[in-house]
Amino acid sequence: MEIDEEVCQLAKVPMFSKLDKSKLRLIAFTSEALHYQPGEILFKKGEPADSAFVVLSGEVEVLADTHGEDLVAAVRGANSLIGEMAVITTDPRSATLRARDDVEVLRIGDDVFIKLLTENPEVSLDVMRQLSSKLAESQTAYETLQDKLRASGG
Amino acid sequence: MEIDEEVCQLAKVPMFSKLDKSKLRLIAFTSEALHYQPGEILFKKGEPADSAFVVLSGEVEVLADTHGEDLVAAVRGANSLIGEMAVITTDPRSATLRARDDVEVLRIGDDVFIKLLTENPEVSLDVMRQLSSKLAESQTAYETLQDKLRASGG
């Protein structure tokens, strides 16, 4: 993808929409556009993390680590930030992520991502909003499962 | 509590430890120290959110909203940030929080809290770290429950 084209695409991502053009160009220069086929793994739980991703198109599945078949715990669509948790905590990946369909992502290296957060409060707040929403969603999934377990007499 | 005493206490909270004394004094001036007895509710799920809290001492239970008795989904101890999610997303409270024992918290109003985040990247990063850890913890709780449900034949 050409840099100018990538800058235009980045400007459409809500979490970057308030950044000026020079900052968008910097992200475009230092990031990498990647494509995944349906079923392809972006990263696996337990792996070390060296980058965060922004979903540009397609959907990515967050897989729960259960002792049986893969279970889709959540789905992240266009404009979602993924893989940011492990970069922020410097812990290994907490979940396996898999492309549900044709997926296009922007891969942002850990150093660039942390710099982006510390230098741009509006990006930082957006990341906190996304993390908070994911946490609320995870809590609701837990409560639903708890009700199901209770109903099954577990 | 005297302001100087409160500043000393704030400096011991890891998320504030890198702030200079003038900023700590500002937090101390604009925040409020509150005490809760065992079993007392800090806030209820669904309520509008006007503040975040830092636990200074004691433990706070995060209650899951299940159709039965109260279920403790997580426990937050000293130095934990609580109630920040709803302030960041401006959504209603996503869970009910209850004092497990004698609890002392610092109540920070929403405007002051958001200003603290946008003006201090190191505080912001710490909040992102805490949110990420809570999300990883919630995912693990979900996976454990999923395994339990599978074992019970649900």
B:79-118 residues touching chain A, CB 8 A cutoff = 84-86, 88-89, 91, 94-95, 114, 117-118
**Tokens 């409560």, residue?**
A143
Q: Output the six-digit token pair for B117.
A: 């985040």
A-to-B residue pairs, Cβ atoms closer than 8 angstroms: 141
A67 touches chain B (CB under 8 A): yes
- Tell me the chain B residues in contact with residue A66 when contact means C-beta distances shorter than 8 Å: 143, 146-147, 150
pLDDT category at A12 given cuts 50, 70, 90 is confident
Continuous H helices in chain B: 3-11, 21-30, 84-89, 110-119, 121-151
In whole numbers, what is the pLDDT of chain B averaged over residues? 92
Looking at the predicted structure, is the pLDDT value of residue A65 above 90? no
Say what the alpha-carbon torsion angle B17, A91, A85, A63 is, to the nearest 10 degrees. -150
B74 touches chain A (CB under 8 A): no
Q: Decide if A71 contacts A115 (C-beta within 8 A).
A: no
Condensed to tens digits (0 to 9), the pLDDT of residues B17-38 reads 889 999 999 999 999 999 999 9
Give the Cα separation of B74 and B144 in Å (integer): 14
Q: Decide if B119 contacts A123 (C-beta within 8 A).
A: no
Looking at the predicted structure, is the pLDDT value of residue B154 above 60? no
Q: Decide if B24 contacts B10 (C-beta within 8 A).
A: yes
Give the Cα separation of B11 and A67 in Å (integer): 44
Which site among B61, B84, B88, B97 would you substitute to test the A interface, given the most A Cβ atoms closer than 10 Å to its Cβ?
Answer: B88
Across the interface, do A132 and B127 touch by the CB < 8 Å criterion?
A: no
Looking at the predicted structure, is the pLDDT value of residue B100 above 90? yes
pTM of the model: 0.91
- A104 has which bridge partners? A35, A57
- CA A58 to chain centroid, in Å, comes to 12
| Burial grade of A83 (CB within 10 A; 0-12, 13-18, 19 or more) | buried
B:30-59 residues touching chain A, CB 8 A cutoff = none
Q: Tell me the residue ranges of DSSP E strands in chain A.
A: 32-36, 41-43, 51-57, 60-64, 71-76, 81-82, 96-99, 103-109
For B88-124, give the secondary structure using H, E and C: HHCCCCCCEEEECCCEEEEEEEHHHHHHHHHHCHHHH
> In sequence order, which residues have a C-beta less than 8 Å from that of residue B128 and are 6 or more positions away?
A88, A117, A124, A127, A128, A131
Across the interface, do A149 and B149 touch by the CB < 8 Å criterion?
A: yes
Across the interface, do A146 and B147 touch by the CB < 8 Å criterion?
A: no
Condensed to tens digits (0 to 9), the pLDDT of residues A40-54 reads 999 999 999 999 999
